[in-house]
Amino acid sequence: MSRALFQPKLADDWQTAVADLLVRLADDELVIGHRNSEWTGLAPILEADIAFSSMAQDEIGHALAYYRLLHELGYPDPDTMAFLREPQDFRCASLVSIPKGDWSVSIVRQFLYDTAETVRLEALCDSAYEPLASLARKLRTEEKYHLLHGKTWLHRLGDATDESHRRVQTALDLLWPHALGLFEPTRWDRTLANERIQPSEPTLAQEWRARVEPLLTDASLVAPEGVEPLFGGRVGRHPPSLAELIAAMQKVFRLDPGAQW
Partner 1 sequence: MTDTQWRVYEVFHQQARGEPHVHVGSVHAPDPETALLMAKEQFGRRQACVNMWVVPQEAISATSYEDADLFQHTTDKSYREPFGYETTKRARAIGDPQEL
The correct pick among 47, 130, 225, 228 for binding partner 1 (CB under 8 A) is 47
- Rank residues 60 and 132 by Cβ distance to partner 1 and give the closer one: 60
The correct pick among 83, 145, 231, 253 for binding partner 1 (CB under 8 A) is 145
Q: Does 149 bind partner 1 (CB under 8 A)?
A: yes
Nearby residues of 141 by Cβ (< 8 Å), 6 or more positions away = none
- Rank residues 152 and 194 by Cβ distance to partner 1 and give the closer one: 152
Q: Which stretch binds partner 1 (CB under 8 A): 51-59, 81-89, 200-208, 217-225?
A: 51-59
Neighbour-count burial of 201, counting CB atoms closer than 10 A to its CB (0-12 exposed, 13-18 middle, 19+ buried): buried
Question: Distance between CA 234 and CA 245 in Å, rounded?
Answer: 17
Taking the complex as a whole, the smallest distance from the CB of residue 50 to partner 1 amounts, in Å, to 5
Q: Does 130 bind partner 1 (CB under 8 A)?
A: no
In terms of Cα–Cα distance, which of 17, 54, 242, 201 is closest to 116? Answer: 201
* Element of type H or E holding 6: helix 3-6
The correct pick among 4, 45, 255, 259 for binding partner 1 (CB under 8 A) is 45
- Rank residues 48 and 64 by Cβ distance to partner 1 and give the closer one: 48
Helix (H, G, I), strand (E, B) or coil at 237: coil
Q: Which stretch binds partner 1 (CB under 8 A): 152-160, 178-186, 212-220, 250-258?
A: 152-160
Q: Does 50 bind partner 1 (CB under 8 A)?
A: yes
Question: Distance between CA 22 and CA 26 in Å, rounded?
Answer: 6
Q: Does 163 bind partner 1 (CB under 8 A)?
A: no
Q: Does 161 bind partner 1 (CB under 8 A)?
A: no
Nearby residues of 260 by Cβ (< 8 Å), 6 or more positions away = none
